[in-house]
Structure 1
C-alpha cells in the first residue's frame, strides 16, 4: 500500500476539503510537521495547494506571501518547501483538490506578519491615494508594501486535518480535538 497523500496549504481550508468524512484537527509541533512533510516528500506523496491561482499575473501579492512563508519555514523551521511545489505540470494546484480522507490528510501552515525593522506602519496603506492609482502603479505599490512586511517566525503554526474512523472517536475527548 502507498504512502498517505499529504496536502499542504498555507493559511487556508475550504469546505470542499472535507467531503463528509469524520475528521479531526491536531496542532503539530515544528518537529512533527518537519517529519510529516519530509516523509510525504520522500514518498512522492506531498501535494502543495493554494486558494489563489499562484500562476496568475494578478496574484503577485499572493506569490510574494507564499515565497516569504517558504523562506521562513526554511530559515526558522528547517522545512524545505518552495513556491514551485505549489504547481503541477500545467498550473498551480488549487486548494479544492485537497480532500481529507482515509488516504489523505491536509496540513495547514499559518503565521502572522510584522513590519520589517524600521518600516513602521505606513500611512499610505489605508490612504485614498492607492485608489486613484492605475493598475500597474497599484501593483508596484502593493509589491513595495509587501516588501516592508515579513513573517514573524515565532507565529508559525501547523495544524493537520486527518480522517478519523467513527469507531475510534472517544466521546469523552474535549470538543476542540474533533470538528
Structure 2
C-alpha cells in the first residue's frame, strides 16, 4: 500500500502542475545567414588590363603574381574554376601563347575546380575567421619556344565559390 500512495501522489502532483501552470507561447524565430564570398585583389591588378612583358630568353612572358584575399562569413573551403581557355591570341597573325594560371601554386585547368583549404585562406580563432590570408594567383606563359611578334590578348573568367 505504501507504494501505491507514492504513485498516486506523484500523479496528482503532475496533474496539478500541468493544469495550474499550463500556457501557450508562440515564439518567432528569424535568422540571417550571409554565405557570400568576396574576392579582393590586394595588389590592385584587376582594375586594368594586365600587361605582361617578354622574358629575357624570349621564349615566354614574365610571370605576373596577383595577391587575393577571400572574405566570407563561412569558414569553409573555396572552389576556384578557370572557365576560359588559357591562351593569349594574336587574331591578326593567327598565333597564340599558351598560358598557365596557378592558385596557391596549384595549376588551374579549364572547367576543373580546384579546392583551396579554409586553413590556407583564413586566420581563425576557435573556428571564427579573424582575418584573410594572402593567396597568390600567378599568371605565366607555358611557352618554351621563341615567341612570334604580335599583339596578344586574352580575357579569362574565374569562378570562386564556397565549397558545399
Same fold (TM over 0.5): no
The structure that has the greater radius of gyration is 2
Q: Which has the higher contact order (CA 8 A, sep 6+)?
A: 1
Q: Given the two structures, how large is their TM-score scaled by the length of structure 2?
A: 0.22
Q: Given the two structures, how large is their TM-score scaled by the length of structure 1?
A: 0.21
